[in-house]
Amino acid sequence: MRLILLGPPGAGKGTQAQRLVHAYNIVQLSTGDMLRAAVATGSPIGLRAKAVMEAGDLVSDDILIGMIACRVNEDDCRNGFILDGFPRTLAQAEALEGMLAEKSLTLDAVIEMKVDDALLIGRITGRYTCANCGAGYHDEILQPKVSGICDNCGRTDFNRRSDDNVEAVGTRLAAYHEQTAPLLPFYRAKGSLKTIDGMAEIDAVTKAMKAILDAG
Ligand code: AMP
């Protein structure tokens, strides 16, 4: 199964992707995570991306397209993948079409998670992840069962993203509306776009996604 999760920052793409990975035995390809790893190791891509990401702007298409083109060729993608954060521009979407066509692969679904901008700022500024396993939490919406201890791996170190602040979030939302929203009519015209209410409870969103995916 191959799918794209589309939606503004804070829509819950990463949270839902983690759940779908387990349900369908596929991998999550988060370009944000890949770039953050590149920044952390100080690789040439990381050095180019760091300031752009901190400001909340989009990293250049050539970097992203090259990154995904390599990643989808890896063995663990054979059973399928969830693209989380890619494509984010029409140029990326068109490049992805080319990559898939070359391998005679198709997308099973493009799911838009629709969330009002007003909700997103609070969602983003309250979120954090386990430093060890990456499980996602939120100060109000999704706390660990035992305060300060990751439900998934039991560790006690957590991280907050440096771009999850009010200024960068404004820029990220603007980038979504200007550069990513045009992908909605692009995929709608291909008949692959499904839209779900991303403001529903986390479990209800997962259920709605599974209903789409299981309907084939
Ligand atoms: P995310 O974790 O998806 O919110 O991505 C964090 C940041 O990484 C974004 O604000 C961009 O600066 C950069 N980024 C991630 N994916 C892309 C992409 N497909 N195109 C351009 N920039 C990206």
pLDDT in tens, 34-60: 999 999 999 999 999 999 999 999 999
Our answer to whether residue 19 is catalytic in this structure is no
Tell whether ligand 1 has an atom less than 6 A from the beta carbon of residue 38.
no
CB atoms within 10 A of CB 190: 12
* Ligand 1 atom, smallest distance to 56 CA: 10
What size, in residues, is the chain?
A: 216
| Residue 196 C-alpha from the chain's centroid | 15
* Per-residue confidence (pLDDT) for residue 168, from 0 to 100: 94
* Per-residue confidence (pLDDT) for residue 141, from 0 to 100: 85
* Per-residue confidence (pLDDT) for residue 72, from 0 to 100: 94
pLDDT in tens, 163-175: 999 999 999 999 9
Spot the catalytic one: 36, 123, 127, 194.
Answer: 127
Positions of the chain with pLDDT lower than 70, given as ranges? none
* Ligand 1 atom, smallest distance to 175 CA: 10
* Per-residue confidence (pLDDT) for residue 163, from 0 to 100: 94
Tell whether ligand 1 has an atom less than 6 A from the beta carbon of residue 64.
yes
Tell whether ligand 1 has an atom less than 6 A from the beta carbon of residue 56.
yes
Q: Kindly report the pTM of this predicted structure.
A: 0.92
In the block, tokens 């309907």 appear at: 215
With contact defined as beta carbons under 8 Å apart, do 99 and 72 qualify?
yes
* Per-residue confidence (pLDDT) for residue 216, from 0 to 100: 74
With contact defined as beta carbons under 8 Å apart, do 130 and 158 qualify?
yes
Tell whether ligand 1 has an atom less than 6 A from the beta carbon of residue 120.
no
Pairing of the two strands 109-114 and 193-197:
parallel
* Per-residue confidence (pLDDT) for residue 64, from 0 to 100: 97
Non-local CB neighbours of 129 within 8 Å, separated by 6+ positions = 135, 136, 137, 158, 159
- The CA distance from 150 to 129, in Å, is 9
